[in-house]
Amino acid sequence: MSEIDHVPDRWDPEPRWPAFTAILAVGGLYTALPRHLVIGPRWLFLVIVLALLVPTFISHIKDLHLLNRILGFTVTGVVTLGMIGSVTLLIAGLPAHRETPAQLLLSAASLWLTNILVFALWYWRLDAGGPHGRDKRFGHPDGAFLFPQMTMTPEAKTKADEHGWSPNFVDYLFLAFNTSTAFSPTDVPVLARWGKVLMMLQSLISLTVLALLAARAVNIL
């Protein structure tokens, strides 16, 4: 059997801590927003996120994959609703000039970063059966996004030590970052319709935050 055809019997699953860190970062960014951009008590959002994140982590350790998937989608949905609510409040409060230019810039930056993290979580959870589904396969032959490694020949993958390559959270974070900055895919074309819809929503939110809110703050400095 050649080196190219050899498939190991076991490989290490994708680590989950980057995604958990991203969720905690979203909770921290939300808590740091001005009071009028936060729905309910300032501490409530972070408490809800932690209350969902702890059993999510435990279910992953215990290999309770269905429960982990349900909790994962729940906590991702919660941080998404929090972000959308804050963006809506920020836009609604613009005519009242409730924030100083510096506060407006800080709020826009926080929501822009939150937008990247939230959509990176969605791409990570939905693509190719989610992290657990990708862990069950060797390599990454197909999915909603065409990563450059997926277009390499087996010989090229072996030479680059990428024969068993599979995307992890950092790859989806990079995709989300490019979507928020370039408002389009860069080196990772999107194949699935649900991916196209999510990328359009992410670009729309990023465009709203950067072009409308941040630009106005700069103009009134």
pLDDT at 106: 82
User: Could you give the CA distance from residue 89 to residue 73 in angstroms, rounded to a whole number?
Assistant: 24
Mean pLDDT, to the nearest integer, of 167-193? 88
Range 182-192 average pLDDT: 82
What is the rounded distance in angstroms from the CA atom of residue 39 to the CA atom of residue 197?
Answer: 26
Q: What is the pLDDT of residue 12?
A: 65
| CA-to-CA separations, 8 to 13, 17, 63, 149, in angstroms, rounded | 13, 24, 22, 19
> pLDDT tier at 101 (50, 70, 90 boundaries)?
confident
- With a pLDDT cut of 90, the percent of the chain lying above it is 42
How does pLDDT run across 197-208, given as a tens digit for each residue? 999 999 999 988
- DSSP letters spanning 46-79: HHHHHHHHHHHHHHHHTT-HHHHHHHHHHHHHHH
**Residue type present at position 62:** K
Q: Please give the residue that has the higher pLDDT: either 59 or 216.
A: 59
Residue boundaries of the structural domains of the chain: 17-219
pLDDT bin (cut points 50, 70, 90) of residue 6 is very low
**pLDDT tens digits, one per residue of 56-86:** 999 989 989 899 999 999 999 999 999 999 8
